[in-house]
A and B are shown apart, each in its own frame.
Chain A
């Protein structure tokens, strides 16, 4: 095995120490936030009805867990996010590929893509409900509208920016478009695609919550809506906390997939 020099060992030690400091302070920040929230609320410096408190949020989670609705709502939201993520990834990859194969199509639809991407999709909410119906479908549809255009633009742009010399090399060998796509365009853009997917999944979460706020009987967006209508701030903040944890976990999972490939 390797034997490192003393200097290298010290270098590694320094790296480890730095990492420990970072994690330590990250945890401290969360604690300070929670403790000061709790104290300010207990001492009624901030209105504890309007701003709840960590213990109340914790109790609400326990209550939701006990009556079984916690996982019901989380799983509904996750289900909608995952379904719309899968659909939008497939659509984006197919459309980016077509645009790459046929630059003339890309030139034609470029302004439409830009408009559709920058249009605030929530404005279409009422229309979607009328067209698709007040159901899970319209939530997924909203999520697709929000995520797909930006992912198409991101993936297609990275396809276009592929190193030209790679393509010249393959053309000189007589490669077909299909070969160029699978041997160069896809593998050389692996990390760009992963990055586009990271943005995509957070857009899916935004879209799903937005859809649930507009129309639903289940899900974390519904809990937020229900909580605010009944002035149950504990419920609203609890849902927000759960959402924060979910979005971090989703990001974490994609990041791990990326890191796994990098190690190979």
Chain B
């Protein structure tokens, strides 16, 4: 963990509609270092996804600021895989390069290579409808990686999948991100997923979302996400975060 890539300071966000004004985010402050994997957990509706929208310039913060340490490329991965059904898998992955006018022989070869490396080589010319939910999500990740982003913003990327696929894909995504040496912020409501994948977990309170705690996850026998779930420190973190979230039904 070397250079600071992003610093977020006192971020606030209000949402407006005809009858009211809602404070969604309050005083969000944290730092992100290169090659770090941060998770943001919180109850639904706490504004955690809004943090990613702001960091990817889709929305402006009401107050506060955030700063990237250099001119960076952002890869934003959504809850829906949003694959274009009328494009082949390869063409889906090339969309970012097309938008940025960066599509050439080299970048195309890079994307094809990514697809082959991560087990989608046979599907390059197939259409999304022929893939399972887990594989579609993997394609969505490769589409995000295709523009060679410095930072990945993952917005509950696995939440639409069944439990088994989730475990498998979180392992997959983790390995791919680590292997490609990427920095990532993932939003999730799944505490186990957050602990098993991250270096750091930021716990956000109920609306208006505030940073309640930041945990540096130090598992004594850290390996892949699935194995991390068996670590003896895992439950300790789980209990602490559970208490922070203060869930009442």
Which positions in A face B, CB cutoff 8 Å? 163, 165-166, 168-175, 179, 183-184, 187-188, 190
Inter-chain contacts of B56 with A (CB < 8 A): 172
Interface membership of B100, Cβ < 8 A: yes
> How far is A86 from B74 in the complex, measured between Cα atoms in Å?
43
Contact assessment for B58 and A172 in the assembled complex, using a CB-CB cutoff below 8 Å = yes
> Which of B78, B79, B80, B99 is close to A175, meaning CB atoms less than 8 Å apart?
B99
Taking a contact as CB atoms under 8 Å apart, the answer to whether A163 and B82 are in contact is yes
Question: Within 8 Å of chain A (Cβ to Cβ): is B237?
Answer: no
Kindly state the separation between the CA atoms of A30 and B74 in the bound complex, as whole angstroms.
63
Bound complex: CA A163 to CA B83 (Å): 11
Q: Which one of B79, B87, B96 lies within 8 Å of A173 (CB-CB)?
A: B96
Can you give 15 A-B contacts (C-beta < 8 A)? Answer: A163-B80, A168-B82, A169-B76, A169-B78, A170-B99, A171-B58, A172-B74, A172-B76, A173-B76, A174-B99, A183-B98, A183-B99, A187-B84, A188-B85, A190-B86
The answer to whether A188 and B58 have CB atoms under 8 Å apart is: no
Instruction: Establish whether residues B95 and A183, one from each chain, have CB atoms under 8 Å apart when the complex forms.
Output: yes
Tell me the interface secondary structure of chain A in the complex. Answer: helix
User: A183-B95, A187-B86, A190-B86 given as contacts; is B100 within 8 A of A173 (CB)?
Assistant: yes
Interface string of B82-105 (1 = CB under 8 A from A): 101111000000011011100000
Closest-CB distance, B107 to chain A (whole angstroms):
14
Known: A168-B58, A169-B76, A172-B74. A179 touches B99 (CB 8 A): yes
Residues of B near A166 (CB, < 8 A) are: 82, 84
Bound Cα distance from A35 to B80, whole angstroms: 58
Instruction: Tell me the smallest distance from the CB of A243 to a CB of chain B, in Å.
Output: 36
On whether A173 and B84 interact (CB within 8 A), knowing A168-B58, A168-B78, the answer reads no
Please give, as numbers and ranges, the residues of chain A lying within 8 Å of B84 by CB-CB distance.
166, 184, 187-188
Beyond A172-B74, A190-B86, 7 additional contacts (C-beta under 8 Å) are: A165-B78, A166-B84, A169-B82, A173-B100, A183-B95, A183-B99, A187-B87
What residues on B are CB-neighbors of A173 within 8 Å?
76, 95-96, 99-100, 147
Which residues of chain A are near B100, meaning CB under 8 Å? Answer: 173-174
From residue B83, how far is it (CB to closest CB) to chain A in Å? 9
> Are B86 and A188 neighbours in the complex by a CB distance under 8 Å?
yes
Name which residue of chain A comes closest to B76, CB basis.
Answer: A172
Task: Point out the residues of chain B lying under 8 angstroms from A163, CB to CB.
Answer: 80, 82
Question: In the bound complex, what is the Cα–Cα distance between A187 and B91 (angstroms)?
Answer: 13
Complex Cα distance, B78 from A166, in Å, reads 10
A87–B35 Cα gap in the complex (Å)?
57
Chain A positions within 8 Å of B96 at CB level:
173
Query: Which chain B residues border A179 with CB–CB below 8 Å?
Result: 99
A165 and B82 contact, Cβ closer than 8 Å, known pairs A172-B58, A174-B100: yes
- For A184, the chain B residues whose CB sits under 8 A away are 84
Question: Which residues on the A side are within 8 Å of B78 (C-beta)?
Answer: 165, 168-169
Contact partners of B95 in chain A: CB under 8 A: 169-170, 173, 183
- Map CB proximity to A onto B42-83 as digits: 1 under 8 Å, 0 otherwise: 000000000000001010000000000000001010111010
Nearest-neighbour CB distance to chain A for B215, whole angstroms, equals 28
Q: How far is the CA of A188 from the CA of B84 in the complex (A)?
A: 8
For the complex formed, measure the closest distance between the CB of B152 and the CB atoms of chain A, giving whole angstroms.
11
Shortest C-beta distance, A160 to chain B (Å), equals 18
B101 closest partner in A (C-beta): A179
Give the Cβ gap from A167 to chain B, nearest Cβ, in Å: 9
Nearest-neighbour CB distance to chain A for B156, whole angstroms, equals 12
Q: Which residues of B contact A168 (CB under 8 A)?
A: 58, 78, 82
Residues of A within 8 A of B87 (CB): 187
Q: Which residues of A contact B79 (CB under 8 A)?
A: 165
Q: State the CA gap A183–B87 with chains docked (Å).
A: 10
Bound: A190/B85 CA distance, A: 12
In the complex formed, the residue of B with least CB distance to A184 is B84
Q: Are A165 and B80 in contact (CB under 8 A)?
A: yes
CA distance A169 to B81 in the complex (A): 10
Smallest Cβ distance from A175 to chain B, in angstroms? 5
